[in-house]
């Protein structure tokens, strides 16, 4: 196999949820396409890499020249609810299901001794100040129902502090043990949000 093609396959295979076989199919499709799809993809990737960055407030990806993301700028979302999620894909899942209309805070991962993810690796430094500034009345944890998710949830609650004014809640029924938001349907997410329980 051509070394350049092999290198490209390896890069695709490093993406989450893509193995070597899927990466080979993607690369083959791009190379055999006569419409310029590969070049268009490369241009779009370069544009996104150069012009998109995490929102300094919540972590949602937004335009580099914008002071904050669409969620943080939307006054209608300043309803006192803050949903804490692991990553951007969780925000996309919740937005698609239309079960949440407040603001988000992306942690950027979960605490894990095995993976080596420590508190300093997470986006929590500005969280307590943000809760005070935005007058948050409810912090909703929409983290995976795993050991890492629960550990992270307890740690974040301790960082916010026992004297914090917001109430804490977590998603209720419908989220199976070990479950990720990515795999839940809209109806299950709606039930989980509607039946969230106070912590």
| Per-residue confidence in pLDDT tens, the chain, 199 aa | 789 999 999 999 998 888 899 999 999 999 898 888 888 988 999 999 999 999 999 999 999 999 999 999 999 999 999 999 999 999 999 999 888 999 999 999 999 888 888 999 999 999 999 999 999 999 999 998 888 998 999 999 998 876 667 889 987 655 555 556 666 666 666 666 666 666 6
C-alpha span between 15 and 19 (Å, rounded):
8
Residue 128 and residue 161 in contact, taking contact as beta carbons nearer than 8 Å? yes
User: Where does 22-102 show beta strands of DSSP type E?
Assistant: 52-54, 61-63, 81-85
Does this chain's domain 3-52 share its CATH topology with 74-198? Answer: no
Residue 109 and residue 121 in contact, taking contact as beta carbons nearer than 8 Å? yes
Q: How is domain 74-198 classified at the CATH fold level? A: Dna Topoisomerase Vi A Subunit; Chain: A, domain 2 (3.40.1360)
Strand partners, 84: 105, 141
Domain boundaries, the chain: 3-52, 74-198
C-alpha span between 179 and 1 (Å, rounded):
39
pTM of the model: 0.77
- Right CATH for 3-52 from 1.10.8.420, 3.40.50.300, 1.10.10.60, 1.20.140.10: 1.10.8.420
Which two tokens mark 97?
Answer: 């299901």
């Amino acid at each position: 196999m051509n070394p350049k093609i092999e290198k490209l396959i390896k890069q695709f295979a490093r993406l989450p949820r893509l193995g070597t076989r899927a990466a080979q199919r993607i690369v083959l499709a791009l190379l055999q396409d006569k419409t310029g799809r590969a070049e268009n993809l490369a241009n779009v990737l370069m544009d996104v890499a150069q012009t998109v960055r995490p929102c300094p407030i919540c972590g949602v990806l937004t335009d580099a020249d914008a002071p904050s993301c669409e969620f943080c700028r939307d006054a209608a979302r300043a309803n006192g609810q803050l949903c804490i999620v692991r990553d951007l894909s969780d925000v996309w899942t919740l937005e698609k299901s239309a079960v949440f209309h407040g603001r988000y805070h992306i942690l950027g991962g979960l605490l894990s001794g095995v993976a080596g993810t420590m508190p300093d690796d997470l986006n929590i430094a500005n969280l307590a100040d943000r809760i005070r500034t935005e007058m948050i009345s409810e912090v909703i944890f929409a983290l995976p129902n795993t050991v890492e998710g629960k550990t992270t949830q307890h740690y974040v609650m301790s960082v916010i502090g026992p004297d914090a004014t917001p109430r804490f809640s977590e998603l209720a029924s419908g989220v199976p043990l070990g479950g990720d938001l990515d795999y839940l349907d809209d109806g299950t997410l709606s039930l989980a949000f509607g039946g969230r329980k106070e912590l």
